[in-house]
Structure 1
Amino acid sequence: MTSSLSTPVRIPPLYLPFSSSLHPEHETIDHETASWAEQHGLGSEDLRKRITTRAPSGKFAARLLPHGKREVVRLLADCNFWLFAFDDGCCEEGKTGKHPGELAAVMSRMLRAAQTHDVAALAGDPLATALRDLGGRIAQYATPGQSARWVNNLREYFMAAVWEAHYRENGSLPTVDDYTILRLHTSGGLMLPVWVEMGLGIELHPLEADNVAVRAANEMAAFVASWDNDLISHHKESRSGGYYVNAVRVVQQERALTAEEAVAEVIRQRDRVLMLYNRLTQDLRSWGSPQLRQYLTCVDSCLRGSVEWQLASARYNPPEDPADLPTCVLDTSTTAETSVPLPIPAISWWWTIPSPYRGVNRGPTVEQGITR
């Protein structure tokens, strides 16, 4: 680290009272994903090397789906590599990242490639070709409903990325409330439910998947995952020398805090949400089908596995400029638990949902679930 750089802001250990594991074939999947990215020409050679060496997607997918089907873990690794290549090369570092209109046009074409993976949409475009390949392979392991949800998740990710480009173009920052909405989608956290179902070889019954409490639990998990990523990536982003938007920076500006105070506030927010998530999922497990319980256990593991992968990644802790990141996680929170909602209107409804048991038809279809 050069003397011109300030001392990194310390990120203390994060509260994550879950167990995690690692898919045994992560190294092989890493090599396969790197070869797939090279075959499709994703980004520049330098960008591919940077992602492969500093953010190995195979190990990331192996952390999220440690007991998942091998083919789906590989698919998730490829998809994660694609998202890194698109976000780094097209949004954050590319010229279109500062022009929302141009970015919207690019993303609309990309979405068409994902929707029509059997048609040569955007032939010759490496990102579109790779995305079309992903869509076709996902259709092999997903139900029609899961494939449709994946495309819809991608659409929401694209819409949020265009919104973020608006702030990048103006050099401005969103409010904490707007950033919360934006980040739920740009983090990819709301894509997780489809991957968990695919990896486990199940599909939640609509009476469970569309239950307001299950939807809230999915959003809470996405919030915690995105705030965790913002804490861990703050060092990398703040050192980039360019525009960046991050929960720590947004909270710091809106509340006139120091960086250290903003980190503490972001941790308090994610701890509050995680404690609410734990209470809600405990209730869900008391009445849910075996598939729902299996699903929630995997989501728990994903939250911890994602953080463990990030803490070990040179993408967020470069050896040439080390970040002050934790080396462990906590089983208990230092934040006081309370039933009072966070002052973030976009998510305050999480604290008002009734018990998920009320009004639910627990017929045999729900109890059995759908197994593929």
Structure 2
Amino acid sequence: MSVEPLLNPYYERVKVEADAWAAMIYGLDERMTKRNVKANFTYMNAIWASHADEEAYRKMVDWHHWVFAFDDQFDEGPFKEDAYLAQREIDATIAIMTDEHPPIPNESCPIRHVFQTTWKRLSERADPGQQERWIKNYKDYCTGLIRQVEIQKTRKRLTVDEYIDFRRQSIGAMPSCSLVEYACGITISQSVLDHPSSVECEKISADLVFLVNDVLSLRKDLELGVEHNLILLIKNQGLTDQEAVVLRYVEGCRNIALDNLYWSYKSGRYLKDEGPLVRATRILNLPA
């Protein structure tokens, strides 16, 4: 996690094109357009897809423009505590990944439209096995989102092990792992992916992603009343802030976790303009 990441050579060009496209599709006003540009999903993908060709790289950037908009609906939007609406949206999205699904006009539902365009591009290049794996991991991610909604609605207190299990699903790292084949232009047999070492590698990657997320998003989560955060969970067990932030480091799918770390400092999504300062000082000021 301490290495300097490589960047995709198409970063500059893809960023301009992808940000402009997202602003148009989502109908963003000037303020939200600037916010999206600063979020810099292109930078995130430039690290973990550093060797992808321009077409694959752009597809992954567009997918992340989708997944963050989609996921925010469950974190702080209309599905936060409404399991019925959440499941209905998930079912509608899963249905898109079928050959017979009709085109979705951008005007009717921009988020579903973006997902459909990314699925179409994936299915044109990925073989059936890759598509099947991606659908499976996407469904697992959605299962995590539904679990999150139920936890938020019932205010259920989780153990650390229960929390880690559900966050591995809801953080969305597994669908990203499935895109590695697509990004790198490679094919891996299912037997290799089912090997315990591969499974453990994916789990560790997801763990690193949500650990970084939970530490750096702590202030935002406190401000918004978001409770699914490991630091808050550990604090509720009677530990101090310092004890709660002492997290173990493990080795795994380094690039996916590494991009999340660097992007979180750079994008402004959680830390606004303070990313470089927080990274340099390792101090995160919390609301009183």
Q: TM-score, normalised by structure 2?
A: 0.87
State the AA in 1 paired with 2:115: L
1:36 deviates by 2.7
1:310 aligns to what?
264
For residue 101 of structure 2, the aligned residue among 116, 119, 136 is 119
1:107 and 2:104 aligned: no
Q: Are residue 61 (structure 1) and residue 24 (structure 2) matched?
A: no
Whichever residue aligns with residue 79 of structure 2, its letter is: T
The aligned amino acid for 2:13 is T
How does 1:188-267 map onto structure 2 within 5 Å?
Answer: 188-240=172-224, 242-253=225-236, 255-264=237-246, 267=247
Give, in angstroms, the shift of residue 183 of structure 1.
Answer: 0.9
Question: Does the CA contact (< 8 Å) of 2:23 and 2:33 recur in 1?
Answer: no
> Does the 8 A contact of 2:209 with 2:257 survive in 1?
yes
Structure 1 residues 2-21: aligned runs within 5 Å: 16-21=1-6
The match for 2:118 is 134
Partner residue of 1:326 out of 255, 269, 279: 279
Aligned-partner Cα distance in 1 for 2:38–2:228: 21
Q: Structure 1 length normalisation: TM-score?
A: 0.69
Measured on the aligned residues, the alpha-carbon RMSD in Å equals: 2.5
Structure whose CA Rg is larger: 1
Q: Is the 8 A contact 2:19 2:37 kept in 1?
A: no
- Structure 1 residue 193, shift from structure 2 partner: 2.3
Q: Aligned residues: percent identity?
A: 21
1:230-272 deviation line (CA, Å, top 9, x unaligned): 11221222233x233111111222x3112222112xx23xx1x
Matched residues in 2 for 1:59 and 1:198: separation?
18
Q: Deviations over 1:300-329 (max 9, x none)?
A: 23332321121222112113x779732399
Decide whether aligned partners of structure 1 residues 45 and 82 sit closer, same or farther in structure 2, where only a CA change above 3 A counts.
Answer: farther
Residue 55 (structure 2) pairs with residue 71 (structure 1): yes
Contact 1:190-1:218 within 8 A present in 2 as well: yes
Identify the residue that residue 85 of structure 1 maps to in structure 2.
Answer: 69
Displacement of 1:93: 2.7
SS class of match (2:64)? helix
The question of whether the paired residues in 2 share the 8 Å contact of 1:100 and 1:165 is answered with yes
Write the deviation string for residues 6-48 of structure 1: whole angstroms up to 9, x where unpaired: xxxxxxxxxx244521112222222222233234327x64785
State the alpha-carbon separation in 1 of the partners of residues 245 and 99 from structure 2.
42
The residue type paired with residue 177 of structure 1 is D
Structure-1 separation of matches of 2:150 and 2:255: 34
What is the aligned counterpart of 2:8 among 23, 29, 42? 23
For the residue of structure 2 that corresponds to 1:63, the secondary structure is: helix
More helix by share: 2
CA distance in 2, matches of 1:236, 1:98: 19
Once the two structures are TM-superposed, the CA of residue 76 in structure 1 deviates from its matched residue by: 1.1
Comparing both chains, which one has the higher relative contact order based on Cα–Cα distances under 8 Å and sequence gaps of 6 or more? 1
SS of 1:96's partner is: coil
SS class of match (1:316):
coil
Query: What secondary structure does 2:272 align onto?
Result: coil
Runs of at least 5 residues in structure 2 that lack an aligned partner in the other structure: 283-288
